[in-house]
Amino acid sequence: MSDWMLHVLNNPESPILPLINVERVRAIAEGKDEVISGNDARGIIDYLLQVNSWLEEYNIKLIW
């Protein structure tokens, strides 16, 4: 799951990128975050992957 999250983070076309702190999520996915780890990290990553998939599936475009 962490590898999939890193793939999403490395893809500039991933729709979730403007909604997250990319460097913080990268640290969580790499197991380098000092606060979030273990089951909490897996839960966050799972949720973010689901949101990204939903944004892609329904072709959601964010307008800023």
Measured over the CA atoms of residue 5, residue 56, residue 50 and residue 1, the dihedral's sign is negative
% helix / strand / coil in the chain, to the nearest 5? Answer: 60, 0, 40
CA 6/CA 1 separation, integer angstroms: 9
Residues 8 and 14 sit within 8 Å (Cβ to Cβ): yes
| pLDDT for residue 62 | 87
Residues 45 and 29 sit within 8 Å (Cβ to Cβ): yes
pLDDT per position in the chain (64 positions), as tens?
899 999 999 999 999 999 999 999 999 999 999 999 999 999 999 999 999 999 999 999 888 8
How many residues make up the chain in this entry? 64
What global pTM score does this model have?
0.93
